[in-house]
Amino acid sequence: MQLQNNVKTSDEFSRKTTWLLLAIALNALELFLPRIPFLPWLKPGVANVVTIIWIIKYGPADAILYTILRSWISGFYFGFSFITLLLSLSGGILSTTVMGAVWVLLGRRKLIGTVGLGITGAFFHNAAQLIVVYLTLTHNISVFYQLPFMGIASLVFGGIVGLAVPALWTVLNASAPEAQNRFSSLRKPDIFNSIITLSILVFCICLFAISNKFILLACILVVTIVTVCLKKSFRYFFYPLRFWALFFFVFLTYLIIPYGTRLHRLPFLTIESIDAVTLQFMRIWTWLEAGLLLQRFKFHESFFYFLKVFFKNNVSTLESGIAALEYFPMIVSFVKSRKHFAGLDFIRKPLLSMTEYLYRLQQFI
């Protein structure tokens, strides 16, 4: 019996690690897609294929942990920041929670299928991110005018994701490749690093209350200089410019402020809107630089330890997340290699191409 339990645990660890790597690779694939300036966070959400299958196979609670791990690891390798992590986690957790509830209440009774789950998840993912954008970036009610467009996008992208689930179920539930449990064990984080990262998070939250340009400028200079010194590279002075679409979106939303003193030569602008967008730009720049400091002081160790406390019954998923964090660099090389996309047509044959791509990636892993 002990041998059977060990085999089952090993298979589950291998499968969950592979699924996590597949989902993160799909997130990486979306990074190559062009961003829409008005909706810089809007993506097809193809990784939700794995989320839906995870909900069906392992349950909503385990799927929520998977979503947190996927968002964290993706941010860890592809550009971590306070604001992008907040957007990713808010959308991912809410959509997974709602999809999990819908599956338990309706899906198991065969009252809704994977297409319905996909559309539901896409809509709530977009809605959650829009609320976070309003609360943290724009404070402009006009951003909610995008809801109809997001509804259409949810129908299209969510429907495609839902249609892909049955086709990919067999691929993802095939015999899991053997994975040696060679990752670093989950250990208690360093006290000094934990204090530093907690202080950085509190600092990022406090920026909401600061409306003085000189204080915000001082924050930018201090955080940027510290980051450059710790990273030992001047290129981190301009790191936030990688998120130009986010700055452009904030600029556009603040232009819609209907009140204030309008400029003579630029009547679509007001002095108040320029002041507001300047303050928000300074906050965003500081948040993006502070994200690099969180990475430098190993926030992931504190983050995983925190998850262990709240997900005591999901140890195998947490261990798979740690393994995926360490194994993922080899997946980056796979995603960047053009030969692995040979013969795939994601435009004309999206389901067939996605299935074949996941099969190739799973074989690579």
pLDDT at position 327 is 74
Q: Tokens 């799973």 identify what position?
A: 362
Q: What secondary structure does DSSP assign to 205-247, as a single string?
A: HHGGG---HHHHHHHHHHHHHHHHHHHT-GGGGGGGGGGHHHH
18 touches 317 (CB < 8 A)? no
Predicted confidence (pLDDT) at residue 199 exceeds the cutoff of 90: yes
**Whole-number mean pLDDT of the chain?**
80
pLDDT at residue 183 in the model: 47
Given this model, what pLDDT does residue 42 score? 66
Residue 110: other Cβ atoms inside 10 A: 7
* Token representation of residue 21: 């790597």
* Residue 8 clears pLDDT 80, i.e. is over it: no
77-118 pLDDT tens trace: 665 566 777 888 898 999 999 999 999 999 999 899 999 999
Identify the pLDDT of residue 114: 93
**Cα separations in angstroms, 12 against 6, 51, 58, 176, 333:** 10, 16, 10, 8, 25
Q: What percent of the chain has pLDDT over 90?
A: 23
Q: Worst-scoring range by mean pLDDT, 49-53, 162-166, 322-326?
A: 322-326
Specify the higher pLDDT residue, 39 or 203.
203
Find the farthest-apart pair of alpha carbons in the chain and give their distance in angstroms, rounded. Answer: 81
Q: What is the mean pLDDT of residues 313-332?
A: 78
Q: Is the pLDDT of residue 129 over 80?
A: yes
Whole-angstrom distance, CA of residue 254 vs CA of residue 266: 14
φ/ψ of 270, rounded to 5, equals -125, 155
Closest CA to 197 of 300, 71, 70: 300
Look at residue 39 and tell me whether its pLDDT is greater than 50.
yes
Band of residue 6 on the pLDDT scale cut at 50, 70, 90: very low
C-alpha closest to that of 156 among 43, 63, 249, 40: 43
Instruction: Please report the pLDDT score of residue 186 as a whole number.
Output: 60
Domains and CATH numbers, the chain: 2-181+314-364 (1.10.1760.20), 191-297 (no CATH)
pLDDT at position 51 is: 94
DSSP state, residue 262: B
Task: Please enumerate in sequence order all residues whose Cβ is within 8 A of that of 297, keeping only pairs 6 or more positions apart, or say none.
Answer: 193, 196, 197, 200
pLDDT of residue 24: 83
| E runs forming strands in the chain | none
Most confident residue range from 234-238, 262-266, 347-351: 234-238
Report residue 124 CA to chain centroid gap. Answer: 14
Q: Give the pLDDT confidence of 259-317 residue by residue, as tens digits.
A: 556 666 666 667 777 888 888 889 889 988 888 888 888 887 888 888 888 888 888 88
Q: What is the pLDDT of residues 146-197, one digit of tens each?
A: 788 888 888 998 999 999 898 788 777 765 555 444 445 566 778 898 899 8
| Paired tokens of 300 | 């992931």
Residue 353 has pLDDT above 70, yes or no: yes
> Which residues lie below 8 Å from residue 355, measured CB to CB, with a gap of 6+?
164, 167, 168, 171
The CA-to-CA distance between both ends of the chain, in Å, stands at 29
Put simply, whether the predicted model's pTM sits higher than 0.75 gets the answer no
SS (H, E, C) 139-163: CCHHHHHHHHHHHHHHHHHHHHHHH
Taking only the tens place, the pLDDT of each residue in 248-258 is 777 876 665 55
For residue 139, the model assigns a pLDDT of 72
